[in-house]
Amino acid sequence: MSLESAVERAFPARAPKSAPLSPARVDEQVLSITETRPPLSWYAAFAVAGSVMTMGFAMIGYTVYRGIGVWGNNVPVGWAFDITNFVFWVGIGADAHFGDIFLPAALAQRHRPLRGGHDAIRRHVRRHLPLIHTGRPWLAAFWLFPIPTSAAWGQFLLALFGTCSPFRLLHGVGAFLVRGAVARLASLRDRARAARAVIFSILSLGWTGSARHWVHYEKAYMILAGLATPLVLSVHSVVSFDFATSVLPGWHSTIFPPYFVVGAIFSGFAMVVTVLVIVRWAMKLDNLITMNHLDVMNKVILTTGLIVGLAYFTEFFIGWYSQALYEQEMFRLRMFGPYGWAFWVMFSCNVLVPQIFWFRAMRRSVPVMFAVAILVNVGMWFERFVIITPTLAQDFLPSSWGMFIPTIFDIGILLGSFGLFFTLILVFARVLPVISTTEVKMDLPGAQPHRTPSHHPPLPPLPRGEGAAAGGGGD
Amino acid sequence: MDDKRRGLQQGDAPIVAPERLWRSLSERAGEDAVREARGHEFVPGAALPMDSAGEGDAVSRRRFMALLSATAAFGAAGCSTPQDRGKMVPYTKQPPEVTPGIANYYASAFQEGTTVYPVLVKAREGRPIHLTGNDAHPHSQGKTTLRAQAEVLSLYDPDRLEDWREGGKPIKKDAAIAKLVAALSDGPARGSRALLMTGAVLSPTRRALIEELKGKAPHLVHVAFEPVADHAARAAASAAFGDGPALAPQLDRARVVLAVEADFMSTLPDSARLIRQFADRRRVRSKEDGMNRLYCIEGRMSLTGSNADHRLQLRPSRAAAFLFALAWELHEKHRLPLPYGVDSSVLSSFKLAAMVESEKLPAPVVEALAADLAGHRGQAVVLAGPVLPAAAHTAAALLNVMLEAEGRTLDACALVPLATPEELRALRADLEQGRYSVAIFWESDPVYALPDGADWKRALVQVPLCVAIGPLATETSQACSMVLAANHWLESWNDFESPGGVLTLQQPLIEPLYPDALMQGEEILLACLKALGAQRPGEYYEYLRERWQREVYPADSPAPFSAFWEAAVHDGFVQRPVAPVVRTFNGAAVAAAARDAGLGDPAHPTSSSSAHSGFELVLHPDARTWDGRYANNGWLQELPEPVSKEAWGNALALAPVDAERLEVADGDLVEISAGEAKLTVPTLVQPGQAPGVLSLALGLGKSLGSIAAGVGVNAFPLVAAESRSPYLRTGVSLTRTGGKKKIIRTQEHWALEGRDADIIGRPQTLVQYAHGDHEPHAHHDHPTLYPEHKPGAEKWGMAIDLSSCVGCSGCMIACQSENNIPTVGPEAVDRSREMHWIRIDRYYSGDPAAPEVVHQPMLCQHCDHAPCENVCPVAATTHSPDGLNQMIYNRCVGTRYCSNNCPYKVRRFNFFDYHLERVREPQEMVYNPEVTVRPRGVMEKCTFCVQRIADARMRAKAEERPVRDGEITPACAAACPAKAIVFGNLLDPESEVSRLSASDRGFKVLDFVGARPAITYLAHLSNPASPEDDHAS
């Protein structure tokens, strides 16, 4: 079964017309990228992203040295950009889980090429954020990550504690090591010479591709998938509990878990589209990442955007319907208070802008989708900001109300987190295969000799459980 | 090791193993060396005798031991402790009762302007660390002002001068004294004078010393200069009464108080005593209790006005006319007799009704005021503030005479001589003309604190030798060639005359911080005196003691003088017989004053409208830095001003309508022109300010001091230089300069946003309360998922009576001192990062032009189901068995979630290492050793002074008894002059806090959240005049 035929089965009318693929061609097209010199534009992009990242790290370094007073946080507003960034990046990262669970299976198979390294990168970006936001990160690192020592058992009533729990970390590492990467690295090793060969030999953990290896691989994949499935929903639900467990009007809300999960899918897809459009264009992968993929992803953005809008509406409706003074005031201030502008930025970007995807032509226009994806990312960052900062700025006692005004360090670290993300993406794109070649090859003709199309139903559910494991990461 | 060895030697284990067992192949092979070695238990040499050196030139064991000991001994001998090098802050008089770790309390006192503050100093290992009022002293009764409490920080001010300098170079003491003496003694030869400028001299011993010095140097002119003084009241009193004692109000005997521009709760001297006396007369514990009634008439919004039962807005220039009209009303309508000599025809032109109409005053309130005063003769008092012109003071004196206040609600106190503005102006002219050969400024700063300070600076150039004596560099000391560092008062001896015949003693608590360089100012004069040939002891202590033995020690005392002295030092004061006040009111003074008051009064036939053009500017001492003497104290600078809540600065307050008319908002820079003086200041729109009245605090805008420099603006140039009411300017104009300066405030928002019932409960009037016709306070008893705490023997709680609290903010400084709370600086306060564990929330309600004001102390509520506790990921904040919400600093990683989740926002975060970044040597000495100094990244908050709880508990345990009610007083409660804060065990039904918590006025702030706070607030009660009420009680 060729790739084309698979796509044709999923989307009969819209199968791309391109040259037929073979396993060797996939390898050549994808793996050779890592073996050639990057173009000049890559260096330019790397210079920009790397500089921004370095600036971000320098600012983090200064923050650790001097104290988080260099940020704009204060006493009503204990959390601002720090936790906004954290939740934003967790949301971005969590999409890797959803991508595989919730997409139509045919797309999932095609989506597989898209995953691989991004989630690992995001995990790095987002893990450092909750750590540096603390007043004493060295102690926080010691007590919260990876194992709470007996010297300081944490507060088990708190979801935040679960966010940092060791199981998730170990799981994340294990999943990343086992999943796909090993086989892909082995493919690279097989093509490489000299030092590269040594490095990839080590990284591929002695993978030979023997049937026995594949059996173990599939088994491990199954187990991790089983472990990971609840994580898929829990990652952002747990993050949302971090807020919902409080007593603050605006945080203390039962809508938060689904609201956060949908928001995460929404922002995750937007970020994937952003990156994918660039990768697809820069590496000429139009035949592997087709317009149909992008179209479907844009539909997901539209759908989740509508759900996010519904969540906003529900929140506000319940705030009004509760007849609770503090709830009502909170939502009034959220819209018309001193941070009202942030609310309207969020609302426009997340609810209004994606409506353009009702039009097929817009869904299939690369510039439009790129712009929408960027705006959705902006909107989702503001969503987290709107939830966190204005809620704290104006809570119960008017006497303690106070504004948060970001400093250059707040802004620098926010930019730095994007710098880190894009730097790692750029490095990843040149060093590791951007597309999971082994998994693409599984779907190519002859890859699964014992699985004829009759055993392999075209649409969900997937026969193997690995899709669920694909997210794989803790946070 | 020993056990192992013993094991080897014991039992049946032979030293030589049986042949069939072998330990190595070589042993089995039977090599001789191995066999030989096996026979030795110890390595070679180990078994040699102690003195044998063994093979070669190895050191014997005994020799080794000897060398080792010698090394250690030499090493130890080479070390020295700081104590070996000299005296390091030892006890001044080594008291036998000092135990390391146990605090000692000593009585002392200090002087601020014309007021004496008796204090109790808490010292740990010889370091003063905390100040409260002297509880034995009849005036303080354990309470003192926030400024006095903060003085302990000033003692350790890093900017304190450490040595004596001349022209910037260090000078030896002897040389400096010699120069000074030479200048003092050869002055008369050249026909010139010598100036000694000091503050008000309240100390009889210091006065005697100065007199003695004047005897030896007859051309010495002593000038007592206070930047903030009641010049107008003095002028009025001398006209109305002639020479006589001054009067100090005794509010504990007053049922009706009329305060006219008299901010006795904050900026008037002795505010702590007045608040205590005022609050004692309004404490309501049952429905039968009465309250006094406070009427305020003022232009600026003062703290006192914010606590008034009735507040009337009146331009200060009209106060005299109003008071005369009131006097006439009392005479005409209420038949109060006028004093002998008062010409009723002069008064009869002042019509209260006309005044009410022209000044748009509420007629019923004015009528009630007159009726209340008339109905409470002997129990009423009229206070006139220093801002008011002399005519108003005369009118107030007239009213007090009519109300028979003297001797009842007003007590005599010594009138301290002070230089008048005219005398100061004349003095400057003399200095300019070179009539002085030497000028000594002893803790006196005319260059900063006089309106013509710049001229003073120029005038000092004409003086050959200018000497500044004091602990800090000042604007004046910069203009002096010789600067002699002097002791802080906590390092000095002295005595002070207090009202009521009380002689208060000041004793040093610590040896001077720079003992080689410092001496107390009096000792410099003593040295001069000796050099001029008097036989006097070198130490002021001896001088003081001698004078006391001579003049204070009662001749008929059965106790020896030493016992008398010890007792006086111990108590901090002696009570001496006092003669009753005899003042005769000179009725003729009224005519002149009434003429003054009539000018520009539309209610008066001879009015002209000139006074109505332009603003009236009220200049008042700052509630924190007062006349500027405390400007370098970080605690005080960071303390929000009690009404405006502005920290680190001063701003021009103006009424909302004026702000609207001039189109200025908070922080807009305006130029004030008052006469020739011009000053650019930021504005602050102050609800409750009377239209047409501006007010600005004095005492900021210093140019020197690491804390004080550049904070706020110096308003002294606006003081009227030669006027007898220098702090009131009329015809003031404002122009916008277009610039802006951020007003730094700790509270930005002051509306209650419809949350009144949740936050301040239900304020009532006394009548409503007595009738019981009020809504009950909402109480929520939510079910909870959290387990109940197991009750132990104690559960600490607090009750705060909002009716008593006047918002003076003394608790904030007490807490700062007790709990090592850092200051964070103006930028950080602007970012809402102030660290105060207790704050006073101030809310306005009603019309911004005439708002109701509520002051609410807010501190950690020690909730039973604390929202902060279950959001801490590292469990750094937990609940103690005795009901405290604890903060465990060394666990805290600083996620700040606890602060986010605190409904009261009372948690404070160390965003930086404030104690490293903002504290300079020797300021660490002010730390309370019982309280951890928090590093950066750590959350902190009120602990209910857990160190005091632990201390009381340990004492109780040692004495094998339970902790008594009232035995534990947190710093805030101890400092509160109104006694609004009561702390104790909620599980003891007999404790005061339990009884108050059960009060029908009790409510919990934000009760509906379900956090179950341990602090009960008692809703505010006011006592406005009402028809059904038979006036104040």
3 state SS for chain A: CCHHHHHHHHCHHHCCCCCCCCHHHHHHHHHHHHHCCCCHHHHHHHHHHHHHHHHHHHHHHHHHHHCHHHCCCCCCCCCCHHHHHHHHHHHHHHHHHHHHHHCCHHHHHHHHHHCCCHHHHHHHHHHHHHHHCCCCHHHHHHHHCCCCCHHHCCCCCCHHHHHCCHHHHHHHHHHHHHCCHHHHHHHHHHHCCHHHHHHHHHHCCCCCCCHHHHHHHHHHHHHHHHHHHHHHHHHHHHHHHHHHCCCCCCCCCCCHHHHHHHHHHHHHHHHHHHHHHHHHHHCCCCCCCCHHHHHHHHHHHHHHHHHHHHHHHHHHHHHHHCCCHHHHHHHHHHHHCCCHHHHHHHHHHHHHHHHHHHCHHHHCCHHHHHHHHHHHHHHHHHHHHHHHHHHHHCCCCHHHCCCCCCCHHHHHHHHHHHHHHHHHHHHHHHHCCCCCHHHHHHCCCCCCCCCCHHHCCCCCCCCCCHHHHCCCCCC
Are A396 and B751 a contacting pair at CB < 8 A?
A: no
B896, B913, B1017: best to mutate for the A interface, most A CBs within 10 A: B896
Mean local confidence (pLDDT), A43-61 = 93
Nearest to A325 among B755, B910, B1005 (CB): B755
Cα distance between residue A328 and residue A346, in whole Å: 19
Contact residues, B window 939-968, toward A, CB-based 8 Å cutoff: 939
| Minimum CA–CA partner of A324 in chain B | B1008
Question: E-assigned strands of B655-774?
Answer: 668-674, 677-685, 693-698, 728-740, 764-765
pLDDT of the residue at A123: 47
Number of domains forming the structure of chain B: 4
Nearest to B912 among A67, A139, A160 (CB): A67
pLDDT of the residue at A180: 61
Q: Is residue B534 part of a domain?
A: no
Are B895 and A73 a contacting pair at CB < 8 A?
A: no
Token digits for B192?
């010139």
* Domain segments of chain A as ranges: 3-11+20-145+159-447
Cα distance between residue A224 and residue B231, in whole Å: 87
Q: What angle do CA B741, B745, B748 make, to 5 degrees?
A: 105
**B748 at the A interface (CB within 8 A)?**
yes
Structural domain of residue B813, as residue ranges?
A: 764-778+794-1022
**B918 at the A interface (CB within 8 A)?**
no
Torsion from C-alpha of B960, B965, B966, B967, nearest 10 degrees: 10
**B894 at the A interface (CB within 8 A)?**
yes
- CB hemisphere CA count around B22 (13 angstroms): 12
Co-location of B697 and B798 in the same domain: no
> Which stretches within B217-307 are classed as H helix?
231-241, 271-280, 303-306
Are B900 and A79 a contacting pair at CB < 8 A?
A: yes
Please tell me whether the peptide bond between A461 and the residue prior to it is cis, using omega within 30 degrees of 0.
yes
Co-location of B1001 and B920 in the same domain: yes
Q: Is residue B877 part of a domain?
A: yes
Q: Is residue B214 part of a domain?
A: no
Contact residues, A window 3-62, toward B, CB-based 8 Å cutoff: none
pLDDT of the residue at A101: 36
DSSP state of B705: S
Phi first, then psi: give them for residue B230, nearest 5 degrees.
Answer: -90, 60
Tens-place pLDDT, residues A290-311 = 888 889 889 999 999 999 999 9
> Which stretches within B433-520 are classed as H helix?
446-449, 453-460, 475-478
Distances, alpha carbon A368 to alpha carbons A285, A308, A350, A353, A355, in Å: 19, 21, 15, 10, 12
Q: What angle do CA B643, B644, B650 make, to 5 degrees?
A: 120
Cα distance between residue A301 and residue A291, in whole Å: 15
Cβ neighbours of B903 in A, within 8 Å: 247-248, 395-397
pLDDT of the residue at B609: 40
Per-residue buried b or exposed e for B391-428, using 16+ beta carbons within 10 Å of the residue's own CB: bbbbbbbbbbbbbbbbbbbbbbbebbebbbbeebbebb
- Confidence tier at A449 by pLDDT (50, 70, 90): low
Token digits for B428?
């400057």
- Confidence tier at A450 by pLDDT (50, 70, 90): low
Report which of residues A16 and B545 the model is more confident about. B545
Q: How distant is the Cα of A384 from the closest Cα of chain B, in angstroms?
A: 16
Co-location of B982 and B835 in the same domain: yes
Q: Is residue B827 part of a domain?
A: yes
Cβ neighbours of B905 in A, within 8 Å: 75-76, 395-397, 400
Q: Is B562 exposed, middle or buried (0-12, 13-18, 19+ CB in 10 A)?
A: exposed
pLDDT of the residue at A77: 93
- Confidence tier at A446 by pLDDT (50, 70, 90): low
Mean local confidence (pLDDT), A163-184 = 56
Are A66 and B1011 a contacting pair at CB < 8 A?
A: no
| Minimum CA–CA partner of B835 in chain A | A75
Tens-place pLDDT, residues A220-245 = 777 776 766 666 677 778 788 888 88
| Minimum CA–CA partner of B939 in chain A | A135
Co-location of B898 and B865 in the same domain: yes
Contact residues, B window 850-879, toward A, CB-based 8 Å cutoff: 856, 858, 867, 870-875
Are A397 and B903 a contacting pair at CB < 8 A?
A: yes
pLDDT of the residue at B489: 93
Residue A81 has pLDDT above 80, yes or no: yes
DSSP state of B929: T
**B22 at the A interface (CB within 8 A)?**
no
Contact residues, B window 358-377, toward A, CB-based 8 Å cutoff: none
Q: How distant is the Cα of B269 from the closest Cα of chain A, in angstroms?
A: 29
- CB-CB contact of A399 with B836 (8 Å): no
B839, B843, B897: best to mutate for the A interface, most A CBs within 10 A: B897
Q: Is residue B205 part of a domain?
A: no
Residue for token pair 């702090």: B727
Q: How distant is the Cα of B872 from the closest Cα of chain A, in angstroms?
A: 6
Amino acid letter, residue A9: R
- Confidence tier at A54 by pLDDT (50, 70, 90): very high
**A159 at the B interface (CB within 8 A)?**
no
**A131 at the B interface (CB within 8 A)?**
no
Co-location of B799 and B715 in the same domain: no
- CB-CB contact of B845 with B851 (8 Å): yes
B838, B895, B914, B936: best to mutate for the A interface, most A CBs within 10 A: B895
Contact residues, B window 258-317, toward A, CB-based 8 Å cutoff: none
Q: Is residue B376 part of a domain?
A: yes
Cα distance between residue B200 and residue B752, in whole Å: 45
Mean local confidence (pLDDT), A132-146 = 65
**A329 at the B interface (CB within 8 A)?**
yes
**A144 at the B interface (CB within 8 A)?**
yes
Q: In what order do the strands lie in the sheet with B310-313?
A: B310-313, B293-298, B256-260, B380-384
- CB-CB contact of B309 with B293 (8 Å): yes
**B889 at the A interface (CB within 8 A)?**
no
pLDDT of the residue at A435: 72
pLDDT of the residue at B1029: 57
Co-location of B824 and B904 in the same domain: yes
* ipTM tops 0.85: no
Please tell me whether the peptide bond between B337 and the residue prior to it is cis, using omega within 30 degrees of 0.
no
**A398 at the B interface (CB within 8 A)?**
yes
pLDDT of the residue at B53: 59
Residue for token pair 């006036």: B1031
Token digits for B363?
């007629």
Phi first, then psi: give them for residue B448, nearest 5 degrees.
Answer: -80, -40
Torsional sign, CA A178, A184, A189, A190: positive
Contact residues, B window 649-678, toward A, CB-based 8 Å cutoff: none
Token digits for B311?
């507040």
Question: Count of CB contacts below 8 A, A vs B?
Answer: 169
pLDDT of the residue at A99: 42
| Minimum CA–CA partner of B877 in chain A | A155
Q: Is residue B952 part of a domain?
A: yes
Q: Is residue B239 part of a domain?
A: yes
**B757 at the A interface (CB within 8 A)?**
no
pLDDT of the residue at A22: 72
Q: How distant is the Cα of B373 from the closest Cα of chain A, in angstroms?
A: 37
**A407 at the B interface (CB within 8 A)?**
no
Token digits for B873?
């990921």
Q: Using 50 as the pLDDT threshold, list the residues of chain B that sit under it.
A: 1-14, 17, 81-91, 600-612, 1031-1033
Cβ neighbours of A153 in B, within 8 Å: 875
Question: E-assigned strands of B787-929?
Answer: 796-801, 839-845, 852-858, 877-879, 885-887, 908-909
pLDDT of the residue at B170: 92
Cβ neighbours of B894 in A, within 8 Å: 68, 134-136, 140
Are B904 and A400 a contacting pair at CB < 8 A?
A: yes
Co-location of B732 and B769 in the same domain: no
